[in-house]
Amino acid sequence: MPAPGRNRFERADAPSVAVVGGGIAGLAAAVLLAERGARVTLYEREEALGGRLAGHRTRLADGSAATMSRGFHAFFRQYYNLRGLLRRTDPDLARLTPLPDYPLRHSGGLSDSFARVPRTPPFSALGFVALSPAFGWRDLAGMDARAALPLLDVRVPDVYERFDGVSATTFLESVRFPEAAHHLAFEVFSRSFFADPRELSAAELLLMFHIYFLGSAEGLLFDVPDAPFPQALWEPLGDYLQRLGATLRTGTPVHGVRPHDAGGVTVRTDTAAHPHEAAVLALDPGALRRLVAASPGLGTAPWRDDIAALRTAPPFLVSRLWLDRPVRADRPGFLGTSGYGGLDNISVLERYEDEAARWAARNRGSVVELHAYALAAGAAPEKVRSTLVHRLHEVYPETRKARIVDARHEWRSDCPLFPVGSHHRRPTVRTPHPRVTLAGDAIRCDLPVALMERAATTGFLAAGALLAGWGVRGQVLWTVPRAGRSPALRALGALAGRRTHP
């Protein structure tokens, strides 16, 4: 619950607040502050809003106009606060469309589906085990039930105290999960963090299990925008902010932030030093590290060391291909893959995105997107692109005969990494300066949220912390329960005591 206070600022006492970063976290912070009457200026270094989910216009070889982005993102139904942000301009979430399944496929021949898995805990987890071909009776008998008990009662922040010192892979090995299930399902979770599960903190894996299986009744089905990200999400939110009186300064990188002892901050851009009474820094890990390094008066020495210690996940590649013939009609809009030499998923965009559907209908083709996460630091982009196309041909053989009309690629390395043992050093929303807060999916938050939902939640929390200092109320936030929903399963989970896995 937010701190109590008045509903909004009076015009005469409305403070000027800088929000640095126009991704999900920055937009959430800016929206809440502007709704409460603050004078918001949002600084974004790119020309468009959306941060890592921004898009840009491009022209294809056939003359068609298209929007390129980092592509597929699942808007899970447990993303309550992100959905609340989107409802500002789309009350019924009509611009999100459901995909019927979350199918997974392993190169060894196994496949999994979440469409028929019950969504009510604990039947969600039991149903997944019962229906998944990755679990056989012999596999279940071979599991270490005691080691698996912590999955039944994940508590936040206790899960970090107990399991942040263990990798996701080590935890699964200690439980003796079947190898097939390890690769088919849990590795998909790990790689959704753009990370190798051997490096990822087991606490994050357990948190994901709680969010999607035992902490909520929405399951693992999700929605996707029915148009490219700018048109469906960010341009409407930008218009909304401007109607609230906010100033949007896109194409404006911030090079320094200087807090003042008497209160207030100065934000330095290419053209000027801009005075504000407070600031929200909503940046990816690399950008936050650079900004703090360039702002010598910001924070204490230990805090600056923690910011400098933030790590960025390995590079990833998104390749979008416009093909001159369609994939088979039964191919899903999204397919998670494992064991295909670096290919992590395939999307068929015309199944859900209007722009791609128009192109596919006009050209009797398909728009296909390939993702590869956690790539080796020295990997050659051209070689990875070629490998992904080869793997596409392996998974969807009908694409072998297709001509690539055009292609666009995004090679990036700007997502947060949550390595083993890092949780205690992750910065929180509050900083050593009461008028400077942080937001983003790299920011520590003692609520059961992850990925895009962590970005939205910390954005609202960062704005709420500033508002509370001025006696103005923030926003009610919703999450899955901070502990398991089932008393029986919590009791079983308690049998594990404070046991820490090796």
Q: Is 75:223 a contact under the CB 8 Å cutoff?
A: yes
pLDDT at 501: 45
Confidence at residue 190, expressed as pLDDT on a 0 to 100 scale: 63
> Which regions in the chain score pLDDT beneath 70?
118, 121-141, 180-192, 484-502
The pLDDT value recorded for residue 123 is: 66
Specify the pLDDT at position 397: 98
DSSP state of 64: -
Tell me the per-residue pLDDT of 310-358, one tens digit each, with 9 for 90 and over. Answer: 999 999 999 999 999 999 999 999 999 988 988 999 999 999 999 999 9
The half-sphere exposure of 347 on its side-chain side, counting CA atoms within 13 A, is: 21
Pull the structure tokens for residue 427.
């910065």
In angstroms, the Cα distances linking 59 to 56, 185, 353, 406, 407 are: 10, 37, 17, 10, 11
Q: How far is CA 349 from CA 91, 321, 333, in A?
A: 24, 10, 6
How far apart are the C-alpha atoms of 6 and 127, rounded to whole Å? 47
Q: What CA–CA distance (Å, rounded) separates 107 from 123?
A: 28
Q: How many C-beta atoms lie closer than 10 Å to residue 342's C-beta? A: 18
Quick one: the chain helix, strand, coil %, rounded to 5?
Answer: 35, 20, 40
Q: How far is CA 238 from CA 32, 49, 103, in A?
A: 13, 7, 34
Q: Residue 41 and residue 310: Cα distance in Å, rounded?
A: 26
Evaluate whether 451 touches 431 at the Cβ level (below 8 Å): no
As a whole number of angstroms, the distance between CA 246 and CA 35 comes to 10
Residue 104 CB: number of other CB atoms within 10 A? 23
Of 152, 151, 205, 143, nearest to 175 by C-alpha is 143
pTM of the model: 0.93
Spatial contact of 418 and 429, defined as CB atoms under 8 Å apart: no
Helices (H), 370-472: 381-395, 451-469
